[in-house]
Amino acid sequence: MAASDRPVYLRLRDEIVAMILDGRIQEGDALPSVRAFAADQGANPLTVAKAYQSFQEDGLVTVRRGVGMFVDHGATQRLRVAARSQFLDEEWPEIVSRIRRLDIDPADLIDRVTA
């Protein structure tokens, strides 16, 4: 499924996951408020709330009533493991196929990664 075909709430979730994995949001930090994140993303607050609810259902955040949602200890590693698995199982096979189709030397790819 192309990224643009994914439901909006999942794309918003992906953005928050990227923020956590990139270290812009640390374990123990609050997620941006639903309203603030909705405004930043040009999204409906109800859609953002649905994305945030998925973090709660997955046990990645703790809700403090009247204060916000906070990233749980261990959430970063759990998200990284899930993202790696998704990449290797779903995205990597297509990338390998394309590398072969274009007859790209893997050494050229490694040179570009390390440059």
The pLDDT value given to residue 3: 63
* Of 19, 20, 59, residue with least CA distance to 40: 19
pLDDT in tens, 57-85: 999 999 999 999 999 999 999 999 999 99
**What is the number of domains present in the chain?**
1
Q: Is the pLDDT of residue 2 over 90?
A: no
Q: What crossing angle do the helices spanning 8-21 and 75-86 adopt, rounded to 10°?
A: 120
Instruction: Look up the CATH number of the domain holding residue 9.
Output: 1.10.10.10
Instruction: State the residue range of the domain holding 92.
Output: 1-115
